[in-house]
Amino acid sequence: MRIGISCYPTFGGSGVVATELAMALATGGDEVHIISYALPSRLSMLCGNLDNSDLAPGPQLYSNLHFHQVGVTHYPLFEYPPYSLALATAMVEVARHQQLDLMHVHYAVPNAVSAVLARQIMAPAPLPVVTTLHGTDITLVGNDPNYLETTRFGIVESDAVTAVSDWLLKATRETFTVDKPIEVVPNFIDPARYERFADRPGARRWASQEERTLIHISNFRPVKRVLDVIETFHRVLQQLPCRLLLVGDGPDRAKVDKRCRELGICDSITFIGNLPLVEEVLVGGDLFLLPSDAESFGLSALEALACKVPVIGAAAGGLPEVVTHGETGFLLPVGDVDGMARAALELLTDKERHREFGERARQQALERFSQDVVVEQYREIYRGVLG
Ligand code: GMT
């Protein structure tokens, strides 16, 4: 198949899923064309700025994976350049000249609407549109009154729609009152990726010998509740020598700095910043913290599980579909930082239990979210829209 994939190129989960899917499809023999305003972070990391010679090749090394940059022209009249139109134009150009069979868009806003417009421009040539809903495109952005009607239109007009969890499927039905079929296709992991990192120092390179490592990865948006990470860590630190590794960056970073200074715990926290290869931090880590208000899925939690790192998080959104409470981690009510700290200490002070949780975490991640199974689910959907 010749597949167009449109996504955000930044460190968000939707762009990561789209890129991992593109690479898996290309590896399986499909021709894939990624369309975005910049090279996705997960692709740029594979272009060889690391000391690993055994990583997957970058885009230029897959003969059947191509990247097309959306050109957004600025003009003095525009206070806001119309990205949705530039994206639709790029989709038409790529579909026409690369003879795409279909367009798979990740994150409904504005990708779904741009794809539906591209399909209309292409007519009578067919260009089926598959839309994958990722989370905040439904719960935060898509349901904003300024975007709601166009987001609903993009969903309703798509030829097939997928959501990354049962929870997101229900949230979509409630928010947009749409009754069209929506299939749940979860996020996935490539087991081999984590094996390659297993014997690397990972989280240990930032910690002293006696320190246990707690890790959080996010874009530091309010929905992630990074301050809860700090509060939880502070409570654990009072009982055990440990270090917090913060991966990512975003709007709440300054609040986090301020709170660390107030608590006097800055010396025990390492800000790693944005890092495309999260396995470099996760392997060898002791716990992963994800206290978000509502994760539609929680890809970073799945990546932690795959690296044998148990998760302490919030029992909200789709996270309970990923983390099994009492088996691969603990899920507490949103904001219950005392409970999260207790759960963290429970695991950190019981070596055998911690080891069992870690082993089970990887086993469940591989059994339930394996790349091969999920990519085949997407292929089946593609075959469906192609008739
Ligand atoms: O987490 C974010 O803010 C980024 C966002 C995105 O779309 O890039 O992530 C969402 O999609 C991921 C991939 O499907 C999910 O694993 C995340 O849970 C989801 N984030 C939220 O729902 C907050």
Range of the domain at 180: 2-188+370-385
Residues 103 and 161 in one domain: yes
| Rg, the chain, Cα only | 21
Of all atoms in ligand 1, which is nearest to the CA of residue 187?
A: 14
Residues facing 305 on adjacent strands? none
pLDDT in tens, the chain (387 residues): 999 999 999 878 999 999 999 999 999 999 999 999 999 988 865 543 333 444 444 444 678 999 999 999 999 999 999 999 999 999 999 999 999 999 999 999 999 999 999 999 999 999 999 999 999 999 988 888 999 999 999 999 999 999 999 999 999 999 999 989 999 999 999 887 778 888 889 999 999 999 999 999 999 999 999 999 999 999 999 999 999 999 999 999 999 999 999 999 999 999 999 987 899 999 999 999 999 999 999 999 999 999 999 999 999 999 999 999 999 999 999 999 999 999 999 999 999 999 999 999 999 999 999 999 999 999 999 999 999
DSSP sequence for 294-312? --SS-HHHHHHHHTT--EE
Q: Which residues pair with 132 in a beta bridge?
A: 106, 162
d(CA 135, CA 165) in angstroms, rounded, equals: 9
**DSSP output for 298-352:** -HHHHHHHHTT--EEEES-TTGGGTS-BTTTEEEE-TT-HHHHHHHHHHHHT-HH
Beta carbons of 169 and 147 less than 8 angstroms apart:
no
Q: Which of 14, 169, 217 to mutate to test the pocket of ligand 1 (most atoms within 8 A of CB)?
A: 14
Same domain assignment for residues 168 and 228: no
Return the closest-CA partner of residue 161 out of 216, 209, 105, 237.
105
**Residue to mutate, 111, 134, 141, ligand 1, most ligand atoms under 8 Å from C-beta:** 134
| Peptide bond between residue 124 and the one before it cis (omega within 30 degrees of 0) | yes
Q: Which two tokens stand for residue 227?
A: 């301050």
Task: Give yes or no: residues 98 and 213 share one domain.
Answer: no
Kindly give the distance from the C-alpha atom of residue 177 to the centroid of ligand 1, in angstroms, as a whole number: 22
Residue 252's pLDDT is 97
Q: Tell me, in angstroms, the distance from the centre of ligand 1 to residue 208's CA.
A: 32
Q: Are residues 231 and 184 in the same domain?
A: no
Residues 235 and 363 in one domain: yes
Q: Is the CB of 320 under 6 A from ligand 1?
A: no
pLDDT confidence of residue 50: 37
| In a shared domain, residues 357 and 329 | yes
Looking at the CA of residue 107, tell me the nearest atom of ligand 1: 7
Task: Tell me how many domains the chain contains.
Answer: 2
Q: Please check whether residues 117 and 214 belong to one and the same domain.
A: no
| Of the candidates 175, 238, 245, the residue with the CA atom closest to the CA atom of residue 207 | 245
CATH number where 238 lies: 3.40.50.2000
User: Do residues 284 and 230 both lie within one domain?
Assistant: yes
DSSP string covering 103-171: EEEESHHHHHHHHHHHHHHHTTS---EEEEE-SHHHHTSTTSTTTHHHHHHHHHHSSEEEESSHHHHHH
Residue 217 Cβ < 6 Å to ligand 1: no
Determine whether the shortest distance from the Cβ of 334 to ligand 1 is under 6 A: no
Please say whether the beta carbons of 105 and 8 come within 8 A.
no
Do 200 and 309 fall within a single domain? yes
Burial of 315-345, coded b for 16+ CB within 10 Å and e otherwise, reads ebbbbbbbbbeeebbbbbebbbbebbbbbbb
Residues 374 and 354 in one domain: no
From 378, 273, 287, 239, select the one nearest 41 (Cα to Cα): 273
Same domain, 170 and 34: yes
What is the reported pLDDT for 48? 38
Residue nearest to atom 2 of ligand 1 (CA): 12
- Cβ of 291 closer than 6 Å to ligand 1, yes or no, is no
C-beta of 221 in contact with ligand 1 (< 6 A): yes
Per the listing, tokens 């904001």 go with: 335
Long-range pairs for 259-265 at CB < 8 Å and ≥24 separation? 259/227, 259/230, 259/231, 260/230, 263/230, 263/234, 265/230, 265/233, 265/234, 265/237
Residue 146 sits in the same domain as residue 198: no
Are the C-beta atoms of 367 and 348 separated by less than 8 Å?
no
307 Cβ inside 6 Å of ligand 1 = no
Which atom number of ligand 1 is nearest to the Cα of residue 223? 23
Give Cα 179 to chain centroid, integer Å: 26
What's residue 61's pLDDT? 64
| CB of 114 shorter than 6 A to ligand 1 | no
